[in-house]
Chain A
Amino acid sequence: MAEVFVKNEKSYKVQKIISNVLTFSFLGAIAIVVLVPFYWMILTSLKSSTMIESIPPILFLKPSQWQIWNYKALFEIVESGPRAGQPLFPFFTYMKNTIVISIITTIGTSITTILAAFAFARLNFKGRDIVFAIIIATMMIPGEIFILTNFLTINKLGWYDIMNQSYSDAIFAMTLPFMTSVFYTFYLRQTFKQIPNELYYAAKVDGTTDFKYLLKVMIPVAMPTIITIIILNSMGAWSAYIWPAMVTTKDQFRLVSNGLRGAFTDSGSGRTDYGQQMASAALVTAPLLVVFFVFRKQIMRGVSRSGIKG
């Protein structure tokens, strides 16, 4: 009897070890898949162009081989000429624009998304479901199609005057079309719908208005979803490319994504200085990584959607 027990315990232990090995090797493999591009970015940013084209590829670099030059070049100052004293690659200008755009679109999107989701989830008005269905249906239209209409709108609003577009014009033009999101509205509405009616009734009895209920109860309760939306939206704004290039007339209004694309490609030979490009990509990625590490709890919570219990 005791022997059987020991044997069982043993096989249980073996089983556990095997399952652990499998789990961790799977997770390890996934982690490698995720990390390799980052590693490659950093590695490339530390290589000279001849190291980059080396075959077979160089997989590791000793610190003594690092070409910090790629990073330094990003902050080089033009020595002479009419642009003297200005940075060669206006990294900080691009970065500032990207941050401004991300913040504005994210705030805008959050506000419109929250209000729309609230209306569709909580308020009763005539034609609500039809309007919602129509809005959802627009998700089937590919975003590229909106570029032209958005462009015309922005032009009509006077924000795309190529002769004298001001910084605020450019900011409005870049952000306005992205201040709403059907998908996020839908996503948040579903979360709002999961909040039990009784919570609303309780709040009503406790003397809150609809708006106060939204502010004090729905938003805090749906916070994981809202944080997910904020993160996804700011990441989208961070990497937006086509639209910002379309509606900005001057280089100093552009985003880091636009800057990265063109700045390191030789207009004559069409060749790209990958070392510098990756160095600046690393610098652009760094803030995102910091944000991820700081907010990883919220992000994970948002992603795993710890639903609201009734």
Chain B
Amino acid sequence: MEIKMLDLTKIFVSKDKREVHAVDHVDLTIPSGKLIGLLGPSGCGKSTTLYLLAGLLRQTQGQIYFGEDEVSDMPPEKRGIGLVFQNYALYPHMTVRENILFPLENLKVEKEEAKKRTIEMAQLVGLGEMLDRKPKELSGGQQQRVAIARALVKKPRVLLLDEPLSNLDARLRLQTREEIKRIQRETKITTVFVTHDQEEAMSISDEIVVMKDGVIQQMGEPQHVYDHPQNLFVAQFLGTPQINVFNGVVKNKKIYVNDMFISKTTLEDQTVKVGVRPEGFIVDLEKKSEFKFEIDLVETIGRDTTLIIEVPGNEGGLLDKITFKAIVDASLKIKAGDWVHFNIKPEKMYLFDLEGKLLK
């Protein structure tokens, strides 16, 4: 089921009567059968978008289509959605079986059929043995799987997941992430997955949608968005460690950061922001490059070494921060206090204008 949002807008009026555009003129089409990660920092409007899709909030303007159906004015129960919450929202007084069965009772599904589907769902999420337990007798991951089963049991057209992994500890989070991916593949249900964790989104999603201030910044396959951010925000939001951003200038088709030559370019002379992914640095063993720094800290984990370079007082032309990081080969044996000359991999470097827009 394809989901289509047209000019979707949600305006909240805050207590001091200010209007907050939580979702701002969003036009978005989510292809059928895909798992979409809706990604952004908290307050970016991703959860609001999800609640608009679910019908729990009413849009200020715009339309929502599930396939050919316009659902803009439908109450949640009519939209055919399954919804999973961060805190699972299981009915604490009901057993797993009763929880999964609950939506079917409301839909007046015939009893035998409902029972059958409940068991199927429990098996799908791997909880076939735990049907008679109460939620509090389950681990967080198991509870979330119950919540997913409950969302799926009524065979929704769309599955909506609101930060479903945030309450789980790291190991369970990985497990459950895989589980969700598997279940989505098996059911082929169009799924929207809201998260603020870019790594999670990138690993689970067929496509990600990056949002900021109620506006969609970029949509695409995770690796593609990572490799081709359309603006500084997306570039900064995706990737760990974060992309390093320097204040630079283009002079005579050459890019300088703090008067150090970095790379050539085809752009006209202007002031730019230079984004370099940590893995985009190459140590120039011949020390020919002008782009050199004294290393403050070296962290080696496995085959990678992270060089941490402090640039106090912004003298390195570094944007926003006082340190930046470079990931290099561990075999290089660089120590703190060494001066290192860097070359930049061109495909890991992005130039943005001062508004953060990518310069091609």
Contact = CB atoms under 8 A, between A and B. Distances in A.
A137 interface: no
Interface in A173-231: 196, 198-199, 201-202, 204-208, 212, 216-217, 220-221, 223
A308 interface: yes
A309 interface: yes
Nearest to B104: A206
A310 interface: yes
A202 B93 contact: no
Contacts of B75: 204
Interface size class of B (residues with CB under 8 A): 20 to 34
The listed residue with most B CB atoms (<10 A of its CB), out of A212, A217, A308, is A217
Interface in A254-310: 308-310
Contacts of A220: 91, 93-94
A223 B150 CA distance: 23
Interface in B266-324: none
The secondary-structure label for the interface of chain A is: helix
A201 B91 contact: no
A175 B33 CA distance: 60
B93 A207 contact: no
Interface residues of A, number: 19
A206 B147 CA distance: 12
Contact of A206 (B87, B92, B93, B106): B106
Given A205-B56, A206-B77, A220-B93, A310 B103 contact: no
A221 B135 CA distance: 13
Nearest to B160: A205
A198 B47 CA distance: 12
Contact of A208 (B51, B55, B106): B106
A193 to B, nearest CB: 15
A198 B87 contact: yes
Contacts of A205: 54-56, 76-77, 81-83, 103, 151
A204 B102 CA distance: 12
19 contacts: A199-B91, A201-B51, A201-B54, A201-B76, A201-B83, A204-B75, A204-B76, A204-B77, A205-B81, A205-B82, A205-B103, A206-B103, A206-B106, A206-B150, A216-B102, A217-B93, A220-B91, A220-B94, A308-B92
Given A201-B89, A206-B102, 14 more contacts: A196-B87, A198-B89, A199-B89, A199-B91, A201-B83, A202-B83, A204-B77, A206-B106, A207-B76, A207-B107, A208-B77, A220-B94, A221-B91, A223-B93
